[in-house]
Amino acid sequence: MLNKISILIAIVITTSIISSIITSSIVANRTNNKEEKVMNESKTKADWRYDYYNSEAATLQSPHGLRLKIDSGDDTYLLVDVRRQDFYEEGHIVGAVNITTDRTEEEVLSDFQKLADENRFKDIIIYCYSTSCLNGRKVGRFLANNDIYVKELSIGYNEWVQSHTIWNYPNEVYDINDYIVTGSEPGFYEPTTEVKNTTCGSVAFAC
């Protein structure tokens, strides 16, 4: 009888401790959320705009700017296509390597970590299917959470191929097919026509 009573008491005490831990965790989370909300509400419009423009400028790569990099033979960046391998092989931006993201997080992180270690002094620029596709942004967030910081092309492959007249200047001369490669290799840029480019600003404000 005493053993049964002891067991019941132990169960009650254990249940009470677990309940207390869960309650404390919930309260802590609510407190953190409230503190974060207060911090956000204390930010002015100027603060939000400051953060926005700094974030955009630090993270995004314009397609026109990328095309100019390709034309000039710029080797300070590495382009990564995060689409599925079959789509990559059907067509990708010249020079891009493929790290497909239809795998486990561990596999994706391992490939990007190796790439980052081998290219410490280069910007890694990722792109996915289209402007509206969140794949690239989710990959970028995942990598940032693991201390790997990449830039993102502000358009996707679809816009690179189908809407290039929108993001290039009307008086420029180029052949978009020179910037597209098929197959499993990154490929090389070999212009088939004389290229005429227009810069979109001074060095400080270039695209």
Q: How far apart are CA 197 and CA 61, in angstroms?
A: 17
- Average pLDDT estimate for 70-93: 97
Could you give the percent of the chain with pLDDT greater than 90? 69
pLDDT of residue 6: 55
Mean pLDDT, range 107-134, rounded to an integer = 96
Contacts of 27 (CB under 8 A, 6+ apart): none
Helices (H), 96-194: 105-118, 135-144, 157-162, 164-167
- Predicted pLDDT of residue 12: 45
Is residue 84 pLDDT above 50, yes or no? yes
Q: Give the span between the Cα atoms of 24 and 57, in whole angstroms.
A: 41
Q: Is the pTM of this model over 0.95?
A: no
H or E stretch covering 81: strand 77-81
Q: Give residue-wise pLDDT tens across range 56-79.
A: 999 999 999 999 999 999 999 999
Q: Hey, is 32 helix, strand or coil?
A: helix
Residue with tokens 């700094």: 54
Distances (CA, A) of 172 to 73, 165, 169: 18, 10, 6
